[in-house]
Amino acid sequence: MANEENLIPFNERTESEQRQIAQKGGIASGAARRRKRSMKEAADYYLSLPETDRRRVNALLRDEVDNEDIDNQMSVVMGITEAAKRGDARAAGVLLKMLGEENVDIRDFRYDGPKPQTAEAAILMLSDTVEAAVRALPDPTQEKISALIRKLVRGKMEDGQLDECTLTFRDIGKICSAFETVLQGVFHERIEYPSVDLSRAQHHSEQKQAEQKTEAKP
């Protein structure tokens, strides 16, 4: 049961009680501001640390980023930029705001036209989205491809892009599985085979054939 004293309206309290309540509110507000400031300081500190994920480091190096500039902040910027390149309108908006474009309207990054009305149109829209995104995915693995497909399809659903078609949740699950099977077969991670000295291998083969001929003579 609530404390009955807490139910007394502020304007019905004595001047002394009002001052005490205001003082407590000011203390709580100051503590909240300090927590917020400390979170910002923690975020600034973490973003300034060097990136430790080797794959992301290699991706940044491939983009000709100087080694001393490769930190968590640069990695975050790369992630947002890659998402924008894959057609993520929200990521594009975030990127433009980071660049100082304050008046960003996410609708500027959407295609004009109606939402898919049929299952076939919806599948074509989804396939175009996921194929382009997976194609831009650095160092693709089965897990990364699967996670990206599910994320993109979920984003379309949350954005209401599938509200006017006849696809069911079961259909969408089957479509995602089909996308994964096809795209994992096309854009899977390539195996690096050891280099082979062909001239040396040919010489070894010729030498072995000569030995076999010698052994075959009576």
The answer to whether residue 178 is domain-embedded is yes
Same domain for 181 and 125, yes or no, is yes
Same domain for 132 and 172, yes or no, is yes
The answer to whether residue 68 is domain-embedded is yes
* Tens digits of residue pLDDT in 83-139: 777 667 777 777 877 777 666 666 665 656 788 999 999 999 899 888 888 877 777
Quick one: what percent of the chain has pLDDT higher than 70?
64
Task: Evaluate if pTM is beyond 0.75.
Answer: no
Q: Which domain holds residue 121?
A: 115-190
Three-class HEC string of 154-196 = HHHHHCCCCCCCCCCHHHHHHHHHHHHHHHHHHCCCCCCCCCC
Provide the domain count of the chain. 3
Query: Quick count: other Cβ atoms within 10 Å of Cβ 150?
Result: 16
Determine contact, residues 136/145, Cβ cutoff 8 Å.
Answer: no
Same domain for 28 and 94, yes or no, is no
The answer to whether residue 124 is domain-embedded is yes
The whole-number average pLDDT for the span 131-158 is: 85
**Interior angle at CA 78, CA 75 and CA 83, nearest 5:** 130
Read off the amino acid at residue 82.
E
Same domain for 54 and 32, yes or no, is no
